[in-house]
Homo-oligomer: A and B are copies of this chain.
Amino acid sequence: MPEAKKEAAANADAKKELIKLGYSVIDDIKKGKNPHIELSVRGLSNVVYDKQSKTLALGDKTAQRFFFNVAHSKKFLQTIEIASITKALLDVNKHASLRDVFYMAKRTIPNTKINVVDEQTESDKAIEDLELITGYSRENLNVNANKMGSVAGKVVVEDSGDTIDWSKLGSGGWSIPSNVENIKFKKVDAKYVIYMEKAAVWERLHEDKFWEKQNCIIMSSQGQTTRGIRRLLQRLSSEHKLPIYVLADNDPWGWYIYSVLKFGSISLAHMADEMAIPQVKFLGITCDDVINYDLKRHFIKLTDKDISRLKQMQNYEWFVKHKEWQRQFKMMKDFGAKVEIQALSSKGISFISERYLPEKIKKQELLD
């Protein structure tokens, strides 16, 4: 099935899975059995690094949750309640945030003093359950993550009845929605995508019309990589075969952004297929860049937190045998220092877009 159709059908299919869940519980009741839900075990004990897909993924362990079991009963109820809420959202084709879902579920069970949920973590967990049970992401269940980030490039999309040209949106760019599942790509004229951590760098590249000159797409968030951004990158990678380059600070946190995008994280393990992008490559700032572009004078001392994050990454399964990354880790440790991407501005305001990036991309100086 073409990707666009698949996306459009996903909501309907997710709903079918929710209905199936409902019937399976009814079935148990009709047969006089203890109503139950079966689902994969989440958490570290069942998270594995899948060498074939090269992402973190859930293992084979499953668990059953029963209604008539004091330890399971509340979670069972919560999962069913949230299933009902997400089905209602799909019925009316509206989207809710995680916080909305929490408040929609938060009510007192009649004739008791017990609330269905007391904390958002409970409804969040129930949504993760449903992601596992239905095999669809919460975006397909019409539950949205945070909205953040901007994008520009020679791309035309269709979304909510509008046709949006990412190359004609002034200095602001398109504001990336929290949910990009139903966006249709009408035209994608780009050789690659640069995803950057910092909105200020995005504005620099945008003002310099970098995407036009280099025929690429530029995308940024401010801080965290939201699920909307992650999925947009994933779709550009899988549906349009565009290389994705990550541009971040030369520090353990910038590198960690790359790591999570590429391999996923423990909390995303159950959604690795949709959320991890094994094809992403790290563009910079590398420790070699620090030397080659004479950035040592902008060193900032590593903090204790930086050092422990660095050590942690050094031991990640996917990095441990990676000679190039191990070399980077060692160099940073030897430097005892990190460098911000904006340090490039000391060479001139447009040094990044006129020299650093074109050089790096032309030479394909990328870390896999």
Contacts and interface: CB of A to CB of B under 8 A. Distances in A.
Interface of A: 89, 92, 94-97, 99-100, 102-104, 106-108, 144, 146-151, 157-164, 168-179, 183, 199-200, 202-204, 207-208, 222, 297-298, 340, 342-346, 349-350
A160 B103 CA distance: 42
Nearest to A151: B175
A179 B170 CA distance: 11
Majority secondary structure, A binding face: mixed
23 contacts: A94-B350, A95-B203, A95-B207, A96-B345, A96-B349, A97-B203, A100-B349, A103-B342, A103-B343, A104-B345, A104-B346, A144-B203, A146-B199, A146-B200, A149-B175, A157-B170, A159-B170, A160-B170, A160-B171, A163-B168, A172-B175, A174-B175, A178-B203
A103 B175 contact: no
A170 B178 contact: no
Of all A-B residue pairs in the complex, the 10 with the closest CB atoms, nearest first, are A159-B170, A97-B200, A175-B175, A150-B175, A147-B199, A100-B345, A171-B177, A103-B346, A172-B175, A172-B177
Contact of A203 (B174, B177, B345, B346): B177
A146 B221 CA distance: 11
A150 B170 CA distance: 14
A168 B172 contact: no
Contacts of A170: 157-162, 164, 174, 177, 183
A108 B204 CA distance: 25
A143 to B, nearest CB: 11
Nearest to A220: B147
Copies assembled: 2
Nearest to A346: B103
Given A146-B199, A147-B202, A162-B168, 18 more contacts: A97-B200, A100-B204, A100-B349, A103-B298, A103-B343, A103-B345, A146-B200, A147-B150, A149-B175, A150-B175, A158-B170, A160-B171, A161-B170, A164-B168, A164-B169, A175-B175, A177-B203, A178-B200
A346 B107 contact: yes
A94 B350 CA distance: 9
Given A99-B342, A298-B103, A171 B148 contact: no
Contacts of A179: 171
A298 B106 CA distance: 9
A168 B163 CA distance: 7
A158 B169 CA distance: 9
Contacts of A164: 168-170, 172
A89 to B, nearest CB: 7
A82 B271 CA distance: 48
Contacts of A203: 95, 97, 144, 147, 177-178
A110 to B, nearest CB: 14
Contacts of A343: 103
Contacts of A94: 207-208, 349-350
Contacts of A92: 349
A316 B147 CA distance: 34
A118 B89 CA distance: 53
